[in-house]
Amino acid sequence: MVRLKQQRQRSSYWQLVPFLRPHWTTIGRALFCTLIFTVFWPFLAWIAGELLAALGAGDMDRLVRLSLWTTLLFLVQKLAQYGQDSLMAKAALDVAFDLRNATYDHLQRLSLSYFEMAQTGDLSYRLTEDIDRVGEVVNKVFHDFTPCILQLIVVLGYMLSLNWQLTVATFVVAPLLAGLISWFGDRLLFYSRRSQSRISDLSSLLTEVFSGIRLVQAFAAEDYMLTQFKREAERNRAAKFSAAWLRAIQFPVVGFLYAMSILVLLLLGGWQISQGNIDGADFGRYVAAVLLLIDPIAHITENFNEFKQGEASVDRIFELLSLRPRVVEAVTADPLPMVTGKVELRAVQFGYDPDQPVLRGIELMAQPGEAIALVGASGAGKTTLVNLLPRFYDPQMGQVLIDGIDVRTVSLRSLRRQIGIVPQDTILFSGTIAQNIAFGRPNFDHQAVKDAAKIANAHAFIQDFPNGYDTWVGERGVNLSGGQRQRVAIARAVLLNPRILILDEATSALDSESEALVQEALERLMQNRTVFIIAHRLATVRRADRIVVLEQGQVVEMGSHEALLTKGDRYAQFYAQQFQP
């Protein structure tokens, strides 16, 4: 499996601030509710002490009054808690929504070279699980962590007012607890990063297997793939167990220390009462306040662990957002005007690795309406050459011009809207046939879709389906045959109405009957357009105006089919290999 290189960067929750800023109003209202919720804790601690005193004295009138006040205080506090929880849930989900959209939009604009190295499963995991975890962290910070911190501050302030000596003694244990929580959190961050990397690998393996299940079954490789799956699943299990084991140790250790601190507090309290520094009623209030610290401390410990785990997700998301495309639209880019279709490559040199050029000094000019066939052995550079036209890549040297305009000076959208591509492996998306023909157009003309399908020899078979153009094609067009998918792709190109057309092995995977229908559709599509044809089967390029023979990234021959046969060089040898016994 190809592993996506990860650029380690320092964790930085602050990078979420731009995504939080649009939702400050909601967050501010939630924090106001949090403040109301928190300030009631000292009153509840005080009233708990008063209730104990009234209960001990058997004063029923006072007990009833205090109970009514307690009910009112709890009602107001819980209303504030509802406001805090609902508002923060909304803000957290909105932040996750914005972050997911921004990341998806950013990924779509990265260069094709990035996706040739990236793992699809890993990207899917980052856009789903990682972003969900970031949203949960945002929710926890404001909904749980902040109220707990405020509760600690308020209650500790109340405890100081009751007896500062006992409170100072309580603080002796605090640094030890804080140090332990921090150490456990750092270890959890390490294990979380490793666990999420393992999950991404597992997700990538599943994506590969399910997309290639036909090949797996054809080669009877189920046991082989099961072995690979078990290996990745075991690595995932081991990574998750390491994090779970650490959490299992953390809570008993921290809990034990906390219990010991309560025991010491009771001993110190008894000593303070014996010295006359505090009476029993105040100590009862003090203990009630201490009990109010148990829940926030437990929550802070738990939240700190989740923040450390979420830190790994934040790093992974902003790692994607920090990537920059290799093909960048110029700041001063203008829309490409409607072109006639003249294409020129001037001294073009390109390599996926600049030190290993795939194209060397390509000089080529296609006149408007001319059909150019690119011929050569696998790896000669045919597909690489046509990929330079829509700027999937930029050459390291030389220029690509359309109607005399350097393609690097125009906007990518306006450039690609005038170039149609019919690939060998037809890509259809889940949706209806009509939606796939009108791909990229949310509001399309149904009659124009039908007209395009007729030109592509697709209308007849579409009409045979019970739902016609509303037929669901399935994932990757699984409900259609290869020839049907290819004709839908041609109809898509017809509807785009490009001035320049690229046919990349468009009929190589079809049977004879389907090929004849597709070839007829392609000939209609090619009329009055500049066309670049890539084909291994030379029968499909005979009618091209010119044939360009590529070898090791260089043009070695150029001419018509008859002229190149008469010349008797490289093209003639290719032709002889295919058509002579």
Listing DSSP states for 298-333 in one string gives HHHHHHHHHHHHHHHHHHHHHHHHT---SS---TT-
Number of H helices, E strands in the chain: 20, 10
- Cβ atoms of 403 and 342 within 8 Å: the answer is yes
Q: Which two tokens stand for residue 205?
A: 């393996």
- Cβ atoms of 194 and 239 within 8 Å: the answer is yes
Give pLDDT, residue 335. 92
- DSSP letters, 197-263, are HHHHHHHHHHHHHHHTHHHHHHTT-HHHHHHHHHHHHHHHHHHHHHHHHHHHHHHHHHHHHHHHHHH
Give pLDDT, residue 8. 42
Give pLDDT, residue 186. 64
In the predicted model, residues of the chain with pLDDT beneath 50 are 1-11
Task: Output the CA–CA distances (angstroms, integers) from residue 177 to 190, 255, 264, in the order listed.
Answer: 20, 10, 15
Alpha-carbon gap, residue 63 to 67, rounded angstroms: 6
Give pLDDT, residue 180. 64
Give pLDDT, residue 11. 45
CATH class entry, domain 13-321: mainly alpha
Task: Output the CA–CA distances (angstroms, integers) from residue 328 to 393, 405, 409, in the order listed.
Answer: 10, 17, 10
CA neighbours within 13 Å on the CB side: how many for 255?
10
Question: Cα angle vertex 262, ends 281, 185, to 5°?
Answer: 135
| pTM given for the model | 0.67
Give pLDDT, residue 565. 87
Q: Which two tokens stand for residue 577?
A: 């290999």
Alpha-carbon gap, residue 511 to 488, rounded angstroms: 16
Give pLDDT, residue 326. 84
- Enumerate the β-bridge partners of residue 327: none
Q: Tell me: the pLDDT tens digits for 551-566?
A: 888 999 999 888 888 8
Give pLDDT, residue 4. 36
Residues in the chain: 581
Give pLDDT, residue 173. 60
Alpha-carbon gap, residue 78 to 382, rounded angstroms: 69
| All residues at 6 or more sequence positions from 325 whose CB lies less than 8 Å from its CB, including other chains | 109, 110, 111, 114
- Cβ atoms of 209 and 216 within 8 Å: the answer is yes
- Cβ atoms of 375 and 549 within 8 Å: the answer is yes
Give pLDDT, residue 363. 92
Give pLDDT, residue 548. 92
* 259: nearest Cα among 289, 293, 285: 293
How far from chain centre, in Å, is Cα 430? 19
Q: Which two tokens stand for residue 154?
A: 């308020």
Alpha-carbon gap, residue 36 to 32, rounded angstroms: 6
> Domain boundaries in the chain?
13-321
